[in-house]
Amino acid sequence: MIIRTVGVVGAGHMGSGIACTFALAGFEVTIMDVDLKGLSTAEKRVEAQIDEMIARGDAEPADKSVAVARLATTKNLSDLGTSDLIVEAATEIEAVKHQIFANLTPYLKTETILSSNTSSFSITRMAAVTDRPGQFMGLHFMNPAPSMPLVELIRGIATSKETFDAVDATIKRLGKTVVVVEDYPGFTVHRILIPMINEAIYALYEGVGSVLDIDNSMRFGAHHPMGPLELADFIGLDTCLSIMTSLRNGLSDSKYRPCPLLVKYVEAGWLGGKAGKGFYDYRGERPVPSR
C-alpha cells in the first residue's frame, strides 16, 4: 500500500507538528479535533513551525503555501475515514485513546492503517479495540515533530508485515530516522528519558540541589542541550507523570515510582510551559525557578 492521505486526531502541539511534517513531505493531511478553537490554533501553529524551519534553512519560502494548501481541518471523526493512514495524537490518557479508536472503526475504509503516537501505552491493547489489529501500530514522533529526526515504530503483537512495511516506507519518505522497538511500556526513548527526569525531580525533592544547579549539572556536565527539569516543563509534567505511572504499572518495578514532588506539581496544575508554571515560572520576561 502506498500512503498518500493522512488523518491526524488531535490539534495540540504534537498533532499540529505531525500534520506539518506530513504536509511538507507532500501528503494530503486532515487534522481532527472537537475543539474548533484548537483547530484554528493548529493552523497558525503549523504556519509558525514552517516559518521557523525557513529561518533555519530547513525549508524554502515557497514550501509554506504549498504545505498549508495540503491541510484541512474538521471536528468530525468520520471525515478521517477515507484516509490511508490515521495518526492518533490525542492527550496521553489511555481510555481516551481507546475510545477514539472504537469510535473511528465504523467509518474506516478497508485499507486504512491506524497508528498511535502514544509515548508509553500498549499498542496491542489499543489495536484490540479496533476491527483491524493487523493494520495497527505505534508511530511515536518526538517533539517538536517537524525538526526532531527520530520516529519510533512499534509493532503490536498482531501487526502485519505489510502494515509495518507501508508505514516504515512512509516515515522514511519524511526524511526521518527510524528505530524499531518492541511493545513494552515507554518503548526506548521514554523508557530511558523519563526515569532520568524523575530522578532529577527526586534530587530537587531531597534537597540535593536547586532547580538551576540540577539543570546546569546536566547541561554542562553531561552536554545535554536542556536540563532535565527544563525538559520536563517542555514535555509537560502531566505527561511525565502519565509515562512514569505507565512504566510502574506495566513493569511492576518500584524504581519507576513517580517522585511525590512531581505528583504534587501536577495536582497543583503546575504542568510546565503550557500552564505558565512548572519547575520554572514562564509568566515574566524570562523563565525563573518557581521555588
* Final residue of a structural domain among 181, 215, 237: 181
At 199, which CATH number?
1.10.1040.50
Q: Assess whether 76 and 117 both reside in one domain.
A: yes
Spans in the chain with pLDDT lower than 50: none
Q: Assess whether 148 and 196 both reside in one domain.
A: no
Core vs surface per residue 105-127: b (16+ CB within 10 A) or e: eeebeeebbbbbbbbbbbbbebb
* Per-residue pLDDT at 190: 95
Range of the domain at 194: 189-289
* Per-residue pLDDT at 7: 98
CB 32, CB 77: distance < 8 Å: yes
* Final residue of a structural domain among 127, 154, 181: 181
CB 237, CB 246: distance < 8 Å: no
* Per-residue pLDDT at 119: 87
Q: Assess whether 229 and 280 both reside in one domain.
A: yes
CB 24, CB 67: distance < 8 Å: yes
Q: Assess whether 21 and 92 both reside in one domain.
A: yes
* Per-residue pLDDT at 217: 98
Q: What is the pTM of this model?
A: 0.90
DSSP, collapsed to helix, strand or coil, labels residue 101 as helix
Distances (CA, A) of 175 to 58, 151, 153: 12, 10, 14
Q: Across the chain, where does the E strand assignment appear?
A: 5-9, 28-32, 71-74, 85-88, 113-116, 136-141, 150-155, 177-181, 280-281, 288-289
Q: Assess whether 168 and 240 both reside in one domain.
A: no
Q: Assess whether 124 and 266 both reside in one domain.
A: no
Q: Assess whether 11 and 91 both reside in one domain.
A: yes
Contacts 24+ apart (CB under 8 A), 63-70: 63/24, 67/20, 67/23, 67/24, 68/23, 68/43, 70/23, 70/26, 70/27, 70/28, 70/29
Domain count, the chain: 2
Distances (CA, A) of 30 to 15, 129, 132, 185, 222: 10, 23, 21, 29, 40
